[in-house]
Structure formats: structure tokens, C-alpha cells
Structure 1
């Protein structure tokens, strides 16, 4: 018995016609109306419905729609047959494009958010079922967009003329296409907008209103009440660029509490909210989840953190991995608009200070602009969910080597850098938390998605010119 569905494109982006195997005998018929594993394998999005609605229609010619709701849905006939009509009401070049098909027990349709759905029954006592990705509420109704069934530009060939059909007064009076405001894209929320990554995302994200940026003052992720009140029903993704990153301070009693609150407890609450709304969670991880005993790390290496900060990041990673739609982006040695190692070395070089810099910790820089570009690439390309390492490309180097490169790029003598060991540095700074010796992250997985990070030292030159020009 062949139970594999077949998924067919329709000409409207994301609108998919599904052909379902129907098994008939003298008693009637049986079908698997929705079977997640088989549907996803056949090509449907893993849209994870939360509510099932059924419309029962007594008369042939009953006509409903065209409604575009603020969620995805999967529609199918559970008795009788219908003529289905769909119109793309989303902003973009597809606006106004229509598709129609007759649905019986052997057909279903996946309807993405923003595509109007309507139907006309062809038989009495017809049942029309739809699975949706959000719970219905009166508030949600404000996000509907309606199109008149008789709109001439849609060109829908209703089998039963609308004048003879059973149609509600509301559906008869909905606006024509030329009077509609197109449905905009679901938004992406960036938390931690004032950080180095948040600022880089603000510089690269489209300026069409599809990205919103929240500073800690606007959304403190450690405030459980604020997170509980966060409504993600209109968001396709949340990029969590907020975190506790004070590595040394995390070893203190107060720092330990703050680190666990921001990096674990808040992340867990955020992951639950994203799961409930089918929202993609992008979360930043760190090389500190490893002990640094290996020369480099892949996405498949198990965490083994040394200090409190690394422990909280590893715990947060485990929580995020339970969200069905997540990108866990692991990075290291981030440099952006703000205080960081490169900005510190620049200040010291210009001030005439000759610093001692550790030469037995190894890794690669990650410039916030390239980190942001990689994250946007994952979202826009709809890369497979999961964990991705993301830093700049290039050879593995020490902190002392980076300091020398900064001095040289600024026209200062790199010989002013004094190399020191981690133990030697800790002797002068006893509060320093343990750090991994090796922080190099393998990049083959992110490259396989089509994103090729720039070389770290090529990016360094651009960074110094953009953020740290000579005063």
C-alpha cells in the first residue's frame, strides 16, 4: 500500500497542492489527512499546527472566503468536494496571482500566511478542514485581509455563479484587489540591539520595517514578566543577541546569578515562546562551551566548559536545541562597534602604551558585521535548522599575533607587543576566569549553505577604517 503523498507547486510562492493516497473499499475510504513525517519528507514545511477547524456546509454552492489569515494553514476535504481558490495577497511581485483547483478526498493544500483562501462546495454536506499554526482569537482577527469573491482581476472561475451561490453578506462586500493593502512579511525581532552584534544587524537588515530592534531598556530578557508578555504571533524569527558576557565577573557570586539568569533561565523562556508561535529562534553560542584541548571544534563536539560563563552558555545551548526551529550560531572573539580586543589595542597603540598580550591562546576573530551577515543568510536562505559555527576565515593565531597586526595596520611598531603566557598574565590578574586554549571553530557547515566568511585580517583593515579612524 503506497502511503506517500505527492507535493506539487502551484505558481503562487509557498502555496502547495498535495495529492493524498486514498484507500477505498465497499465500506468507503480511508486516508492519512495529515502525517507530519511523510508530509515533510514530501516537501511540505514543518509548520506544526496547533488548532484544527472544520467547516460543515449543508448546500452545494456554499461559497466562503477569500480570507488571508496571519498564519499558515493546511486545508483538506473530509467529505464531499469543493472548488478551491487562492489569491496571493502578500506584498511583492506575486501580489494578485491566483490559483484554483478542485479538492476531493485525494487533495489538500498548504496555504502560507498572506495567501487568501476561499472555496465553493460542489456537493451537499461537505466538510472542509484546516489545520492552523496559531490559536484563533478576537485579537488575531485584526490581522486578517479580505478580498472580494467577485474581484475581476483575480479571474476566479467559480463553477456556480456567485449570484446563485450561498454567500455571506460580509463576503459579498469585501474590497477589491486594487483597494487592498498587501500583507507585509512577518517581522524579525532583535534582542540586545545595543550590543556589537545588534548594531551590526541594524546596519545590514532591510530598512522595510520587517526588523525590529529592542534594547535592554525596551526588553530585559531577565525580567520574566516582560518575556511572558512578549507576543510573537506576528514574528517569523527572534535573534537573541542579548547575553551576560562578563567572563571574569561570572566567577563571583553576583556574576554567577546574573549569568545563569540571562544565559539560561531567560533563554529557556524565550525558547518556549518561540516554540508556541512557530517562531525561529536564532541564539548566539560561544567557543567557551569547550575546554580548548582540541586544536579545533566542529558543530558535533560535545560541550565541556571550564568556567561559569561557559557553563551557562552550554546550558543555554541545550535549551535552545529543544526548539523545533532554531539556529544556534557558535562564534568566538567577536569584534564590532563597541569595546573589544581590537578597540583596546588601538587605544593602547595610540596612547603609547606597550601592552603584554597572551600568546598561548589560539583562535580566529569574528567581526560583528560578518556574523550579522551570516545570520541573515541562514534566515533568508532557509538553511536547515541546527548548530552552525561562524567566525571569520583564516589561519589560527594567538591574541599576541592579533595585537601585532593591529599595531602594524595603524602604523605602529608591532615590536611594542610583549608576548606573555596565560599563567603569566593570570599572575598579574588573579581574577581572570579560565579560558580555552584553542578556540578555532571549523566552518565547513556554514560554507555548505553558501556563506563564505571573509578572511579575518582582510576584515580587520575594513573594521579599523570604519570604526576606529584616527582621531
Structure 2
């Protein structure tokens, strides 16, 4: 058919506005990636491809992020408009024990992914951490100067810089994560159920202030952000999200105990813990940049803990 069609012959405006956003998720088998993949896949506004490495299979494509050619091939095949980079080495002690591997994943592979996304026209969303701050002057805004005090924090900050320096991408910083787990020790938060149930006396950190944050909430935040970009909003730079409950590891263990009516008499708090790797005191994140956009998520910590720990009782 040639020539210009009259306006009434084109697709209805409502159909034009429902253009599907193609999304690629790295690390979709991990603690955060699973919830992000599940949340976004359930939304008909998105066409989602999840990738994993050692746990690929079923609904997830295998992707080695250290293989630049494989990453480039995947991007050319899927042609995503957005890539959510959940894959990372997120345990501070493991990062310090194997710094070369952690740097390769958290920084070098991230930088190459950012470059490939830029070259293919995809926007990269990089998941970072509150540990980019030293914890001495909370709460921290997205514009505050980072000053990480451990290797993990330094690697994630370098990842942020690589992402923001290689295209029109954005960063989402989040603190201590927990949520639906495949085994209790997959998160330091859910692992506390084992600590509470073991009657052996134990001393827990009662110094560092953390803000446990549900991966399901982070997934909802990402979903809302992407829905805004789908209708023309532009996201760029650094954003932050966090749960609202401040607690030490000792206090959190007592919350776990109280939630299930378990004894906490064998638990004691250490106000001056010694770490293999330094930990910041309080990295509370100011999330107003997102809440001012109307982004919402969250429910009481005790309610979240009850839901996530119930399968292990």
C-alpha cells in the first residue's frame, strides 16, 4: 500500500501507548534477580529475558558476563531497551578473600556491559550498595560523596563510575537485602533463624546499624521506574531505596525470635565487634529522589520476615 494513510487508518492511540518494553536481567537466579524477574515478567507491559550463569535453565538463559563476545551476541539477539544488572559478588568477606574475581565481576564485566549497552542503544540499570559510604554521617543523599571503607564498597563504587561514564545509564543503591530464599543462608537476614533456633550461646554485632530491605520491594520500585520510562520519563544518575527499620544484627535476631515466639535468651549483643573486613557504622540511604517521583513500596519488617521465614519453620 502506497501513499499516506489518513489518521483514522493508523493503530489506535491506546495501542501505540502499550508498546512492550524489552528488558534483559543479569543475575536473574540470585536473591534479588529472582524477585525482579518474577515481578517484571508478570507485567504485560514488559517482555523480559532473564540470564544466569551457574544456575541457568528453565526460564533463564545462560550468560557468562566475563565473555564480552557472548554478552554482545545476547544484546544483539534480544535487543533490549533496558538491561537490569543484578549480577554481582555481594558478600564483603568473599570479595576480600578473592579480590580479583570480585573486581572482574563487579567492575570489569560491568564496564564492558555498560559500553555494549551504550553501543546497542540499551539503558543499563546498575544495582549498587549503601556500602559506598563510610557510615559516619547518615542519612546519605544520592549526591553525597562516597567513601567506601572495604573492598566490596570500593568495587561497587568503581562499578557505578564505570556505568555512569559509559552511557545514559542509571544506578540504584540498596542496603542489606532479604526476601524469598532457597536456603536460609542466602541472606544474612534469613540466616538469623538458624542462629535463633540453635540453643548455643552466641554474641552478635550490636554496633553497626543496618536497614533490611525486601528484594520484592526493590523489584516493585524498579517496575514503577520502568513504567515511567515507558511513557517518556527519563531516569539518569543515582537513585536510592531502603527499608525504614534501623537495627543491629543482634536487634534483628531478637525480632526474628519474637516473630515466632522463640527464645532469645542465648543471644547477646557485642557493642564493639571485630570484623575480617571493616564495616561502616550507619549508611542510611535517603530515598527521597524516588519517593518525590511517587515511587512507593514497603510493608512492616515483621510481616515480611514472617512470610519469608515461614517455609523453613
Q: TM-score, normalised by structure 2?
A: 0.85
Distance 1:186 1:400 in 2: 43
User: Runs in 1 of length 4+ with deviation above 4 angstroms?
Assistant: 62-66, 83-86
Higher relative contact order, chain-length normalized (CA < 8 Å, sep 6+): 2
Which of these residues, 217, 224, 229, is aligned with residue 370 of structure 1?
217
| Residue 205 (1) aligns with residue 40 (2) | yes
Which digits, 9 at most, give the CA deviation of each residue in 1:157-209, with x for residues without a partner? Answer: xxxxxxxxxxxxxxxxxxxxxxxxxx962410111011111111133124347
* 5+ residue gaps, structure 1: 1-61, 67-82, 96-111, 113-182, 427-431
| Residue 322 (1) aligns with residue 155 (2) | no
Superposition deviation, residue 263 in structure 1:
0.7
| Residue 386 (1) aligns with residue 233 (2) | no
TM-aligned CA distance change 1:273 to 1:418, over 3 Å? same
TM-aligned CA distance change 1:273 to 1:297, over 3 Å? same
* 5+ residue gaps, structure 2: 55-61
SS at match of 2:282: coil
Higher strand share: 1
User: What does 1:228-243 correspond to in 2, within 5 Å?
Assistant: 228-232=72-76, 234-243=79-88
| Residue 402 (1) aligns with residue 262 (2) | no
Which of these residues, 276, 280, 284, is aligned with residue 436 of structure 1?
280
Superposition deviation, residue 323 in structure 1:
4.4
Higher helix share: 2
| Residue 225 (1) aligns with residue 76 (2) | no
SS at match of 2:119: helix
Superposition deviation, residue 386 in structure 1:
2.1
User: What does 1:13-24 correspond to in 2, within 5 Å?
Assistant: none
User: What does 1:68-217 correspond to in 2, within 5 Å?
Assistant: 87-88=10-11, 93-94=14-15, 185-207=20-42, 208=44, 210-217=47-54
| Residue 411 (1) aligns with residue 261 (2) | yes
TM-aligned CA distance change 1:312 to 1:466, over 3 Å? closer
User: What does 1:33-72 correspond to in 2, within 5 Å?
Assistant: 63=2
2:111, 2:166 within 8 Å by CA — same for their partners in 1?
no
Distance 1:324 1:462 in 2: 36
Aligned Cα RMSD in Å? 2.7
1:220, 1:226 within 8 Å by CA — same for their partners in 2?
yes
Which digits, 9 at most, give the CA deviation of each residue in 1:262-289, with x for residues without a partner? Answer: 0111111111111122212111111111
Superposition deviation, residue 403 in structure 1:
1.4
In the alignment, what sits opposite 1:464? 306
TM-aligned CA distance change 1:412 to 1:239, over 3 Å? same
TM-aligned CA distance change 1:224 to 1:435, over 3 Å? same
SS at match of 2:223: helix
Distance 2:3 2:278 in 1: 64
Select the structure of larger CA radius of gyration.
1
Superposition deviation, residue 443 in structure 1:
1.6
Which digits, 9 at most, give the CA deviation of each residue in 1:68-127, with x for residues without a partner? Answer: xxxxxxxxxxxxxxx9998338xx9426xxxxxxxxxxxxxxxx9xxxxxxxxxxxxxxx
Task: Give the number of aligned pairs.
Answer: 295
SS at match of 1:211: strand
Distance 1:340 1:231 in 2: 30
Superposition deviation, residue 470 in structure 1:
5.0
1:195, 1:242 within 8 Å by CA — same for their partners in 2?
yes
Distance 1:381 1:355 in 2: 47
Superposition deviation, residue 293 in structure 1:
1.4
TM-aligned CA distance change 1:188 to 1:467, over 3 Å? farther
Superposition deviation, residue 63 in structure 1:
4.5
Distance 1:85 1:405 in 2: 61
Distance 1:260 1:213 in 2: 23
1:306, 1:434 within 8 Å by CA — same for their partners in 2?
yes
| Residue 266 (1) aligns with residue 112 (2) | no
Which of these residues, 427, 432, 451, is aligned with residue 295 of structure 2?
451
Distance 1:468 1:215 in 2: 27
SS at match of 2:66: coil
Superposition deviation, residue 302 in structure 1:
1.4
Which digits, 9 at most, give the CA deviation of each residue in 1:425-446, with x for residues without a partner? Answer: 43xxxxx211111121112111
In the alignment, what sits opposite 1:249? 94
